[in-house]
Amino acid sequence: MRHRRHLSSPRAIVATLAAATLLLAGCSGGDDPAPSASAPSEPTSSETTEAPPEPTYWPLTGLERKGDAPRHPVVVTKVDNTSSSAPQVGLGSADLVVEELVEGGYTRLAAFYYSKVPAAIGPVRSMRASDIGIVPPGATVVTSGAAPVTINRINGAGIPWITEGEAGVYRETSRSAPYNLFARLGDISKRLKAEEEPPPYLPWGDEADLPKGAKASTLTADFGAHSTSWQFQQGGYVNTDSYAAEGDQFPADSVLVLRVRVGDAGYRDPAGYPVPETKFEGKGAALLFHGGRVVKGTWTKDGLTGEIELSTKGGDLTVPAGHVWVELVPAVNGNVTFAK
């Protein structure tokens, strides 16, 4: 808040001048009365009105925030993204979603919650080492666990996590394991306390700042065994092959595709597939889909915990404020197609 400057009182100044004038007149012996002082002016509105507070913005959407920030940290929930997960619950309340590669060419979702927390989310699945570069600083992960080597790396990165056996994580009896683990995020968030407000996850900006780009009303991100397709409809993007419950799909205003390097996590899953690890650091090609158009650029990230930066040949690239689905598509063995 801007503080008002303290100015000297106009009445005190006038009184001092008048006294000085009378003193000079007395010393000179003249009979002329001292000139009358004009009435002091009232303080102007600029002197009495405080400047309005600076606006604040949600870190996961870039939208303006009214009121105080939540007391809880960002809660990232790992959600299954196969046909066995249908219907997924809680995606419609997410601020932001990141889709990442897992074993066998399938994908898993990291759903971010901060401005809104749903009553339930699921099916909840396990973490991967890839999440070290995806989860923002200070966030807590809700997960079904992970392989011991992954847990050691997640703990080494200082990322707190919550799993089955802790309050708010439960089995949905109407579903089959392992696709029946759910979490009551409302209950979980109440017992979590944030030390500070999280930084912006993406470089946010305004739609007017976007380069024109090319027309692109449809796009498909291909991870191998799974593809995610989007169609631009009524100002937003609809996931045409979503497993989300009806009326609970993620409301994507933009889709951000980042081509990433993928390595070997060093172990195999129970089915014998090698577990991949997304290396979300360094740089790669970027495609920003917004408003039925696509802008080509480059992303950079200084280390796994660095900030995501975007640019084009013309300079910095910002993402229009809103809900964004991020596709981390492998630079090798992955593909992205789009059409007018």
Closest Cα partner for 97 from 307, 301, 250? 250
Q: pLDDT tens string for the chain (340 positions)?
A: 333 223 333 333 333 333 333 333 443 444 444 444 445 555 555 555 778 888 999 999 999 999 999 999 999 999 999 999 999 999 999 999 999 999 999 999 999 999 999 999 999 999 999 999 999 999 999 999 999 999 999 999 999 999 999 999 999 999 999 999 999 999 999 999 998 999 999 999 999 999 999 999 999 999 999 999 999 999 999 999 999 999 999 999 999 999 999 999 999 988 888 999 999 999 999 999 999 999 999 999 999 999 999 999 999 999 999 999 999 999 999 999 999 9
Chain region(s) in the chain for CATH 3.50.90.10: 64-339
Contacts (Cβ under 8 Å, ≥6 apart) of 208 = none
Calpha distance 181→163 (Å, rounded): 10
The three-state (H, E, C) secondary structure of 47-104, written as one string: HHCCCCCCCEECCCCCCEECCCCCCCCCEEEEEECCHHHCCEECHHHCCEEEEEECHH
What confidence score (pLDDT) does residue 9 get?
Answer: 35
What confidence score (pLDDT) does residue 44 get?
Answer: 56
Tokens (6 digits) for 205: 């900006």
What confidence score (pLDDT) does residue 72 get?
Answer: 97
Q: Which architecture, in CATH terms, is 64-339? A: 3-Layer(bba) Sandwich (3.50)
What confidence score (pLDDT) does residue 195 get?
Answer: 85
Q: What is the DSSP letter of 121?
A: B
Calpha distance 125→136 (Å, rounded): 19
What confidence score (pLDDT) does residue 65 get?
Answer: 97
Q: Are 92 and 176 in contact (CB under 8 A)?
A: no
